[in-house]
Amino acid sequence: MKPYRLHIFVCQGKRCASRGSEDLLEALKDRIKMEGLKDIKVSKSGCQKVCKETDIEGEYSPAVVIYPEGVWYRKVAVSDLDDIIERHVKKGEVVERLLHYRMVK
Ligand code: FES
């Protein structure tokens, strides 16, 4: 088996789930499969703590993180998947309008 190029985690914690993260996860899996991106792994995660960085419950949900870059996105909707796939996954560009933070290297 070849190693994955990217691993994308879609939060399924309580706050993100209340803001559509289950549909987001399934839509992302479908899109990756449809595009034939076999070097991309999509998984669910528990709470990534992004939701706890605001006083407004769920304001930053759903959260998505992409490794190995360590880029966290917030408030990701199904309608944002075009940008994430076309720009981040295919070109390696960070989608700044969704960026929460990225790991320090
Ligand atoms: S529930 Fe998703 S970041 Fe907390």
**What pLDDT digit, counting tens, does each position of 32-87 carry?**
999 999 999 999 999 999 998 888 888 899 999 999 999 999 999 999 999 999 99
Contact 19, 78 (CB under 8 A): no
Contact between 72 and 99 under an 8 Å Cβ cutoff? The reply is yes
Mean per-residue pLDDT for 94-104?
94
**Is 64 a pocket residue for ligand 1 (Cβ < 6 Å)?**
no
What's the CATH superfamily of 7-102?
Glutaredoxin (3.40.30.10)
13 lines ligand 1 (CB under 6 A): yes
Q: Which atom of ligand 1 is nearest to the CA of 47?
A: 4
Q: Is the dihedral of CA 26, 32, 38, 39 positive or negative?
A: negative
61 lines ligand 1 (CB under 6 A): yes
Domain locations in the chain? 7-102
Q: Is the CB of 10 under 6 A from ligand 1?
A: no
Sole residue written with tokens 């944002």: 80
Residue 85, pLDDT score = 98
**How many angstroms separate the CA atoms of 48 and 42, rounded?**
15
Name the DSSP class of 2. P
Which pLDDT belongs to residue 88?
98
